[in-house]
Amino acid sequence: MRNLVQDLRYGLRNLRLSRGFVLVVLLTLALGIGANTTIFSAIDNKPLPYPGANRG
């Protein structure tokens, strides 16, 4: 457990020093999540091509 805490502290220190990398990673995640949400929302609004598709 002690090693885990030390590793987390080390990782956070390195992330603090490389803010550009963190920014790129966060922007990439935001764009990916936003694109997936948009695409699946657009697909979900179309009716399915079989009878009784609107039943829950």
Nearest Cα to Cα of residue 12 among 3, 1, 20, 22:
22
Is 24 domain-assigned? yes
Is 1 domain-assigned? no
Is 54 domain-assigned? no
Within the chain, where are the H helices? 2-17, 19-44
Query: Rounded to two decimals, what is the model's pTM?
Result: 0.57
pLDDT tens digits for range 1-45? 889 999 999 988 988 899 999 999 999 999 999 999 998 888 776
The domain tally of the chain equals: 1
Q: What is the extent of the structural domain holding 34?
A: 19-44
Is 25 domain-assigned? yes
Secondary structure of 17-28 in HEC code, one letter for each residue: HCHHHHHHHHHH
